[in-house]
Amino acid sequence: MATWVQVTYLICAVGFILALKGLSGPKTARTGNLIGAAAATVACLLPFIYLDHPRHVPLILVAILVGVAGGVFGAQRVQMTQMPQMVALFNGVGGGAAALVALIELNGILTISDNAGVDPSDVSGWFTLAATAFTVFVGSVSFSGSLITFAKLQDLMTSRPVVFPGLPVAFGGMLLVAVVLSVLTVSGPSVLVGIVLCLVGLAFGALLVLPVGGADVPIVISLLNAFTGLTVAAGGYVLSNLVLLVGGTLVGASGTFLTLLMARAMGRSVANILFGALKGGSTLGAGEASDRPVKSAGPEDVAIMLNYADRVIIVPGYGLAVAQAQHTLRELVDLLVARGAKVDYAIHPVAGRMPGHMNVLLAEAQVPYEQLVEMDDINSEFKDADVVLVVGANDVVNPAAKTTPGAPIYGMPILNADEAKQVVFMKRSMRPGFAGIENELLFEDRTTLLFGDAKDMLGKVLKSVEAL
């Protein structure tokens, strides 16, 4: 490989690092995204330039066109509420592609060793074979696991944990078989062993994700994202490709940190999230609607409460994204601020279905970034709030996380909405949140419920405030 090619690949790798740095803040996120896209484009086009006779060019071009079409379709058509599902698919495709590339590379190593009459380890070295086995197995785990998370979030299957007798034994057995096959890939490699390792990885990925339910699924998506990054990095080592090595390492490291941060925000360990259902500790998903009496009101009553409030805190959640009510909510907040109220948005780390879901949703509505306040910074202010308006959120303000040891979300840090003087919940129905348990805050005397579609109800509240 010519020096200029290596330098170009190095520049692309630096571009990925700068892109990740840019994505760390809202003001630089768009620039960071463009830098990353440009680096990826150059890295993909470079082989067509420096290779003398690239093979299978028509097939490669067809694959690129299909990928571009899918990416454009996803960017334009997928709703914000479906973004976690799309991220899950991207994770899975990345892991699956890395596994297939590793199998092809294994076949190439064996072909060279057969033609030369030497041991495969003499062709590539034992560490390369170990990296190949790792890529095949973990990439397959990421592929099948990501498909299960997609199915759970898309309601193609139950979001509740799926367990069966003997699951721990099957899980441990699959892991043991994977280790044995990986050792065989290094000591006596064959394509057949690689294919069997791939199939074991697919089964292992399914067993890993099936017991996960409810609000834990986005955290598993983040974990699988880290898996995909590690497989891409290992694949980069196998292919001696700097861009894949650096890019995969960045994804693996950032995905791992994100998984740990999300687990901390849930007040649980990653092990508990993955295997909690085996002892009844996982979040359970959908539950039955409550028929207990609550205090409800109309848009006019809520408008009066907000109009005379000096301190208002908004708690956005997944329901806000479903209703696409962020623009109407911003108009209401702008009106309240213009009339002298202090209004902030309280952002819980796991509100919505993915990290940063609420930040992105509200940024889409041009909400000033300084109005978005993280949980740790705003929790002490709830006791001074005249009104807390909860729009489509539930579990992130559920006091059961602090008061009920047996609750699936017990120990999860929450927004202290229960300390406010008045709480207004905007809900479609009395169905519980994603964790599948009732929220006792709904039944408190200081809590008022406004039932209906969030966008429709916020529009009516806005008109009522304007009329006051």
What fold characterizes domain 299-467?
A: Rossmann fold (3.40.50)
Residue 169 neighbours by CB distance under 10 Å: 9
Question: What are the beta bridge partners of residue 313?
Answer: 344, 388
In the block, which residue shows the tokens 């590379």? 105
Query: Which two structure tokens, joined as six digits, stand for 253?
Result: 């490291």
Rounded Cα gap, residues 223 and 431, in angstroms? 29
Rounded Cα gap, residues 377 and 395, in angstroms? 19
Rounded Cα gap, residues 197 and 184, in angstroms? 10
State the pairing for strand pair 311-316/447-451.
unpaired
3-state secondary structure the chain: CCHHHHHHHHHHHHHHHHHHHHCCCCCCHHHHHHHHHHHHHHHHHHHHHHCCCCCCHHHHHHHHHHHHHHHHHHHHHCCHHHHHHHHHHHHHHHHHHHHHHHHHHHHHHHHHHHHHCCCHHHHHCHHHHHHHHHHHHHHHHHHHHHHHHHHHHCCCCCCCCCCCCCHHHHHHHHHHHHHHHHHHHHHCCCHHHHHHHHHHHHHHHHHHHCCCCHHHHHHHHHHHHHHHHHHHHHHHHHHCCHHHHHHHHHHHHHHHHHHHHHHHHHCCCHHHHHHHHHHCCCCCCCCCCCCCCCCECCHHHHHHHHHCCCEEEEEECHHHHHHCCHHHHHHHHHHHHHCCCEEEEEECCCCCCCCCHHHHHHHHCCCCHHHEEEHHHHHHHHHHCCEEEEECCCHHHCCHHHHCCCCCCCCCCCCCHHHCCCEEEEECCCCCCCCCCCCHHHHCCCEEEEECCHHHHHHHHHHHHHHC
Residue/partner pairs of 369-374 with CB below 8 Å, 24 or more apart:
369/26, 369/27, 371/333, 371/343, 371/344, 371/345, 372/344, 372/345, 372/347, 373/344, 373/345, 373/346, 373/347, 374/347, 374/349
Residue 400 C-alpha from the chain's centroid: 25
Which amino acid, 21? K
What length does the chain have?
468
What integer pLDDT is reported at residue 434 of this predicted model? 66
Residue 313 burial (CB < 10 Å; 0-12/13-18/19+)?
A: buried
Domain chopping of the chain, boundaries: 1-77, 81-279, 299-467
Q: How far apart are the first and last CA of the chain?
A: 72
Identify the segments of the chain with pLDDT beneath 50. 281, 285
Q: Are 316 and 393 in contact (CB under 8 A)?
A: yes
> Annotated catalytic residue: which of 395, 418, 453, 456?
395
What integer pLDDT is reported at residue 276 of this predicted model? 65
Closest CA to 155 of 94, 214, 236, 78: 214
Residue 150 C-alpha from the chain's centroid: 11
What integer pLDDT is reported at residue 203 of this predicted model? 95
Q: Are 182 and 131 in contact (CB under 8 A)?
A: no
Query: Which two structure tokens, joined as six digits, stand for 327?
Result: 């623009």
In the block, which residue shows the tokens 């008022």? 448
Q: Is 395 a catalytic residue?
A: yes
Residue 341 neighbours by CB distance under 10 Å: 18
Rounded Cα gap, residues 104 and 115, in angstroms? 17
Q: Is the pTM of this model over 0.85?
A: no
